[in-house]
């Protein structure tokens, strides 16, 4: 059950990322899985699973921006 919920959460975040950055879903998927935030979301110890999708998306966008500086 938890895996299903996490999978849906990740899918929603990836689609939000694609829409925000005006990129296709495949590129958003690659970007998402290249982030530390995605790794942390998969690990319940960090508690990110309890945060809103928008909060997590904001973290991902910040991480991507910081990498491109």
- The tens digit of pLDDT for each residue in 15-67 reads 999 999 999 999 999 999 999 999 999 999 999 999 999 999 999 999 999 98
- Token pair, residue 42, equals 């998969």
Evaluate if pTM is beyond 0.75.
yes
Rounded distance, CA 49 to CA 42, Å? 8
Question: Are the CB atoms for 10 and 32 separated by under 8 Å?
Answer: yes
- Residue 2: per-residue pLDDT: 78
Q: Is the pLDDT of residue 1 over 60?
A: no
* DSSP code of residue 49: G
Instruction: Output the pLDDT for position 3.
Output: 87
- How far is Cα 47 from Cα 17, in angstroms, rounded to an integer? 20
> What's the rounded Cα separation, in Å, for the pair 69 and 66?
5
């Amino acid at each position: 059950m938890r895996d299903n919920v996490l999978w849906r959460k990740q899918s929603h975040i990836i689609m939000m990322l694609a829409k925000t950055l005006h990129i296709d879903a495949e590129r958003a998927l690659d970007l998402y899985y290249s982030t530390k935030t995605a790794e942390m979301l998969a690990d319940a110890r960090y508690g990110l699973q309890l945060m809103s999708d928008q909060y997590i998306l904001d973290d991902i966008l910040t991480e991507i921006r910081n990498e491109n500086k």
